[in-house]
Amino acid sequence: MQYKRSSTLFSEAQKVIPGGVNSPVRAFKGVGGHPIFINSAKGAYLYDEDGNQLIDYINSWGPMILGHAYDPVVDAISKTAKKGTSFGTPTILETEIAQLAVDMVPNIDKIRFVNSGTEACMSAVRLARGFTAKEKIIKFAGCYHGHSDSFLIQAGSGAITLGVPNSPGVTAGTAKDTLLADYNNLDQVKAIFEANKNEIACIIIEPVAGNMGCIPPVSGFLEGLRALCDTHKALLIFDEVMTGFRLAKGGVQELFGVHADIVTFGKVIGGGLPVGAFAAREEIMNYLAPLGPVYQAGTLSGNPLAMAAGITMLTALNTQPEIFRSIAKKTERLHLGMEAALLKYNIPHTINRVGSMISVHFSAAPVVDFATASSASGERFNRFFHGLLAQGIYIAPSAFETWFISDALSNEDIDITIAAVDKVVAAW
């Protein structure tokens, strides 16, 4: 497959956009080469500016659970747009989607809509600090909660891909309030609580990590965090920007039966439009302005286009629970097929999978945290990525990202992908 026009378009973009992209990981710096410019997408496929059709395993970083340009969502957006796109006033759509989310997700009474996962996590932490009257937070190395200052400390996703997990511009004052632990290491978290008695407002975690590849929590880890938060009167925040409404109707809380105090959501709650949200039980949410003292606001928050798209998407997921089983089964098929190909050629690897999230690390050792994810072969991943791209398979351009499977993907698409993997690694 040729990607010539994308190369030219990237050169033009770099003249007027820093690095030619509006989000760093898209620049392909981690894997080399140039990004692919997408013209349109439908179902399981992307169509690029060179006229290629690509099988998509990113799905806009998660939200396109039912595939791209899912007709009911597109119809809801078009219908709503004709009535106006933003009013900066309440609409009944906001109450409708809030009710739907509260019905689907365990342990939440109220929800506030914002415009991105970054905003949701930033606001959730502010709320936790206001509610507990404490300042420090615990985050995990390699977890990514958006690009607000408190989180750009050992951050995952594009930050690791580019080798800048700690960003200049984050003040020492902010950084000192973010305490770091290794993912899946409960003893470290215990020690941090002991060393910072009565100072920790919250733990924020991706309960299934997705920003250092896919990393599941080991058995007892989330339960242990819950217990530590209860003991030390800190709040547990689940960042479900990737996992929410994807791994189960009620996200990781439902899947693993561990309850969080605050849950954050991202683009999926807006059917793929720019939306985020954070939610909690009533006593916590009532701490937010205008009821309480913690301030948070936004003109586009709860805008009608995103709310209409979100209602349609969540309704589809709520009324067809078999979708969760279907995407998990497709992901399993992909896992088993890729595993067989990698084993056939003796390629050291670890495939992690939870539901419809999956990633491949080129390391024989289990990948359980940032250190083990980083010790996998980047050089092999890059060759793998380009080998697949050459055959029209589009996976995330970084080993530190998860692949997201959509229900639009057919078994035939998956088998084509497995054959492509076989062809790539056969040549190693």
Minimum CB distance to ligand HOZ smaller for 214 or for 368: 214
Phi/psi at 247 (5° precision): -80, -25
Interface stretch with ligand HOZ, choices 19-27, 63-71, 135-143, 335-343 (CB under 6 A):
19-27
3-state secondary structure of 339: helix
User: Minimum CB separation from ligand HOZ for residue 155, in Å?
Assistant: 9
Q: Binding to ligand HOZ by residue 401, rule CB under 6 A?
A: yes
Q: Binding to ligand HOZ by residue 211, rule CB under 6 A?
A: yes
Minimum CB distance to ligand HOZ smaller for 132 or for 402: 402
- 144, 183, 287, 394: which one is catalytic? 144
Minimum CB distance to ligand HOZ smaller for 210 or for 250: 210
Interface stretch with ligand HOZ, choices 9-17, 22-30, 274-282, 384-392 (CB under 6 A):
22-30
User: Minimum CB separation from ligand HOZ for residue 189, in Å?
Assistant: 23
- 239, 369, 407, 413: which one is catalytic? 239
**x-marked contacts with ligand HOZ along 347-386 as a string, rule CB under 6 A:** ----------------------------------------
CB 295 within 8 A of CB 99: no
Q: Which residue is nearest to ligand HOZ (CB)?
A: 23
Q: Binding to ligand HOZ by residue 164, rule CB under 6 A?
A: no
**x-marked contacts with ligand HOZ along 86-115 as a string, rule CB under 6 A:** ------------------------------
Annotated catalytic, 103?
Answer: no
3-state secondary structure of 132: helix
Annotated catalytic, 239?
Answer: yes
Q: Binding to ligand HOZ by residue 151, rule CB under 6 A?
A: no
> What is the DSSP track for 185-251?
-HHHHHHHHHHTTTTEEEEEE-SSB-SSS-BPPPTTHHHHHHHHHHHHT-EEEEE-TTTBTTTBTTH
Residue/partner pairs of 250-254 with CB below 8 Å, 24 or more apart: 250/104, 250/105, 250/106, 251/105, 251/207, 252/207, 252/208, 252/222, 253/105, 253/106, 253/107, 253/207, 254/105, 254/106
Minimum CB distance to ligand HOZ smaller for 363 or for 398: 398
Annotated catalytic, 422?
Answer: no
Interface stretch with ligand HOZ, choices 23-31, 218-226, 294-302, 322-330 (CB under 6 A):
23-31
Distance in angstroms (rounded) separating the CA atoms of residues 148 and 179: 15
Structure tokens at 251: 């996200």
- 267, 330, 369, 394: which one is catalytic? 267
Structure tokens at 17: 């956009």
Minimum CB distance to ligand HOZ smaller for 158 or for 207: 158
For 177, other C-beta atoms within 10 Å of its C-beta total 18
Residues 6+ apart with CB under 8 A from 328: 355, 356
Minimum CB distance to ligand HOZ smaller for 26 or for 136: 26
Q: Binding to ligand HOZ by residue 61, rule CB under 6 A?
A: yes
Of 410, 395, 405, the closest CA to residue 355 belongs to 405
Tell me, by CB under 6 A, how many residues bind ligand HOZ.
9
User: Minimum CB separation from ligand HOZ for residue 262, in Å?
Assistant: 20
Residues of this chain, 294-353, that bind ligand HOZ according to CB under 6 A: none
3-state secondary structure of 352: strand
User: Minimum CB separation from ligand HOZ for residue 67, in Å?
Assistant: 18
Of 20, 43, 67, 158, the one binding ligand HOZ (CB under 6 A) is: 158
Of 12, 17, 18, 23, the one binding ligand HOZ (CB under 6 A) is: 23
Of 9, 13, 25, 141, the one binding ligand HOZ (CB under 6 A) is: 25
Of 52, 157, 331, 374, the one binding ligand HOZ (CB under 6 A) is: 157
Q: Binding to ligand HOZ by residue 52, rule CB under 6 A?
A: no
Of 230, 235, 226, the closest CA to residue 280 belongs to 235
What amino acid is encoded at 27 in this protein?
Answer: A
CB 330 within 8 A of CB 414: yes
CB 210 within 8 A of CB 249: no
User: Minimum CB separation from ligand HOZ for residue 144, in Å?
Assistant: 6
Residue 282 burial (CB < 10 Å; 0-12/13-18/19+)?
exposed
CB 284 within 8 A of CB 235: yes
For 12, other C-beta atoms within 10 Å of its C-beta total 11
Q: Binding to ligand HOZ by residue 206, rule CB under 6 A?
A: no
Structure tokens at 376: 């996998």
Distance in angstroms (rounded) separating the CA atoms of residues 121 and 143: 12
User: Which residue ranges make up the site for ligand HOZ (CB under 6 A)?
Assistant: 23, 25-26, 61, 144, 157-158, 211, 401
Catalytic residues, by residue number, are 144, 239, 267
